[in-house]
Structure 1
Amino acid sequence: MNFLKKILFLKYKNNPYFHRFYTPIQNKPLEELTFCSFDLETTGLDMKKDEIISIGAIKIKNLKIDIGSKFYKVVKPSKIIKKESILIHGITMSDIEKAPPPEKVIPQFLEYIKGSILIGYFINFDISILSRYSQQLFGLPVLNPYIDIRDIYLSKLQKEYIPVEKRKEKTLEELAQEYKIPVEKRHDAFYDSLITALIFIAMVKKDKPTVEKIVKKVT
């Protein structure tokens, strides 16, 4: 565990919810670790103001998708969602009206990810928003280590000595295409998390040492 993480844990270890939502990640081979790929759909892209409207996740155990671990919840925001947003994710006001509020869903999800290394695409955005809710409800941020599959891809390009000016940012679809993973649906929190999980597994198969190095760095 790096110095900054130690400081963070010292800050929050006496929080009454610390042990409910967090357990240390042991130094183990990749095959023995639990990863959790997750994605949020939100009312917009402002990390400080916009709200979660759905959470999707799937766990990876023994470097295989754990189908039985699927997590998907629609979350009721405090404000009416924009029509443009509905066109992207397909979640309607009818879906929202029937959905539970954040205070019901967020603790379920924090318990679900306990003991997992989180994986995502542009994951800093999702972690920031989820941490905002966790701070508001329980007084502590998301403490799980996390990895962005974009960083794994960047490490791959660096190993191949591809010049910085030629390194193009890839969309999730483009990454999936490169690793021969079909994409049938997008902007659905669960399916995006599933695609991300499949890309991660493919990355491990192609370059396990790089992934091991990144995992070791975040844990």
Structure 2
Amino acid sequence: MLDWLKNINKEYPDFWKVYLSKFDRRSQRFVALSTTTTGLDYKKDVILSISAFGIVNDEVLIGDSYEIVLLQYVYNHDHQLSNEFIVESKQAKSLEPEGIKKFVEFLGNATLIGHRINFDVEMINEALERIHCGRLKNEALDIEVMYRKWKDLNDDKHFTLPEINTLLKMPATDRNSSSEDAYAIALIFLKLKAKLGIK
């Protein structure tokens, strides 16, 4: 019940202190995020790749992007998995602690955007816990929730990313990587943001 007490005097890494200091002001920047993971259990699975695009003034900023493959050798070894994905990938590669640190530095105090974003956030939080940091403080918006709100849907139907893309009559993507998903999420967000009148 008083778990927050144990974090009062906790000594965090320097990059995490810098990250926390950014929340004294509100950001006008959004970050569209997509992760590739080894599964859907954030307690047992790990992140294989992270891709993200910054969005400012209703523009996706290609130059403001983040893309990395996390080298998960220990996970792969423990689960007798091949390193083929990691070896063949042409993306920048990093061990998980360094990759997560760089992502947090890239993210800053921006509002996160994603498809079923709670899962991505929990996966990142688990990785942060492994390097003795707290949980992400960023606000987050989910494009599936935004779509349901715009259409005033109250049932339990869920929509995949390609389904939302099709329903909004947006160009289809090949969806071969987390970067293509992150870019599609960014474009869908901008369309739904306009339809919902979000500033």
Shorter-chain TM-score bucket reads 0.7 to 0.9
Shift, 1:48, TM fit: 0.3
Tell me, in whole angstroms, the C-alpha distance in 2 between the residues paired with 1:195 and 1:84. Answer: 29
SS of residue paired to 1:199: helix
- Tell me which of 75, 85, 92 is aligned to 2:85: 92
Provide closer, same or farther for how the CA distance between residues 187 and 42 of structure 1 changes in structure 2, counting only shifts above 3 A: farther
- Tell me which of 182, 189, 193 is aligned to 1:193: 182
Provide closer, same or farther for how the CA distance between residues 25 and 202 of structure 1 changes in structure 2, counting only shifts above 3 A: farther
The code of the aligned residue for 1:102 comes to E
Residue aligning to 1:45: 40
Quick check: 1:41–1:187 contact (8 Å CA) kept in 2? no
The code of the aligned residue for 2:164 comes to L
What are the equivalent positions in structure 2 for 1:61-72 lying under 5 Å apart? 61-72=56-67
Quick check: 2:30–2:110 contact (8 Å CA) kept in 1? yes
Residue aligning to 2:124: 130
Residue aligning to 2:191: 202
Tell me, in whole angstroms, the C-alpha distance in 1 between the residues paired with 2:143 and 2:106. Answer: 21
SS of residue paired to 1:191: helix
1:101-123 CA distances to partner (integer Å, 9 max, x unpaired)? 11111100000000200010011
SS of residue paired to 2:75: coil
1:182-213 CA distances to partner (integer Å, 9 max, x unpaired)? 122215111111100100000122221xx45x
1:118-169 CA distances to partner (integer Å, 9 max, x unpaired)? 01001111100100111221321111111111111121132xxx5x34x632
* TM-score relative to the length of structure 1: 0.75
Question: Would you say how many aligned residue pairs link Structure 1 and Structure 2?
Answer: 189
Residue aligning to 1:79: 75
Provide closer, same or farther for how the CA distance between residues 119 and 25 of structure 1 changes in structure 2, counting only shifts above 3 A: farther
Residue aligning to 1:107: 101
SS of residue paired to 2:23: coil
- Whose helix proportion is higher, 1 or 2? 1
Tell me, in whole angstroms, the C-alpha distance in 2 between the residues paired with 1:38 and 1:12. Answer: 30
What are the equivalent positions in structure 2 for 1:143-154 lying under 5 Å apart? 143-154=137-148
Residue aligning to 1:178: 167
The code of the aligned residue for 1:184 comes to T
Shift, 1:70, TM fit: 1.7
Tell me, in whole angstroms, the C-alpha distance in 1 between the residues paired with 2:105 and 2:49. Answer: 17
Query: Structure 2: which 5+ runs fail to align?
Result: none
SS of residue paired to 2:76: coil
Give percent identity, aligned residues only. Answer: 24
Residue aligning to 1:19: 17
Shift, 1:67, TM fit: 1.0
Provide closer, same or farther for how the CA distance between residues 85 and 203 of structure 1 changes in structure 2, counting only shifts above 3 A: farther
Shift, 1:50, TM fit: 0.6
What are the equivalent positions in structure 2 for 1:161-172 lying under 5 Å apart? 162=153, 164-165=154-155, 168-172=157-161
Residue aligning to 1:33: 28
Tell me, in whole angstroms, the C-alpha distance in 2 between the residues paired with 1:16 and 1:138. Answer: 7
Q: Report runs of 4+ in structure 1 exceeding 6 Å deviation.
A: 81-86
Quick check: 1:44–1:85 contact (8 Å CA) kept in 2? no
SS of residue paired to 1:75: strand
The code of the aligned residue for 1:135 comes to E
SS of residue paired to 2:67: strand
Provide closer, same or farther for how the CA distance between residues 171 and 188 of structure 1 changes in structure 2, counting only shifts above 3 A: same
The code of the aligned residue for 1:126 comes to D
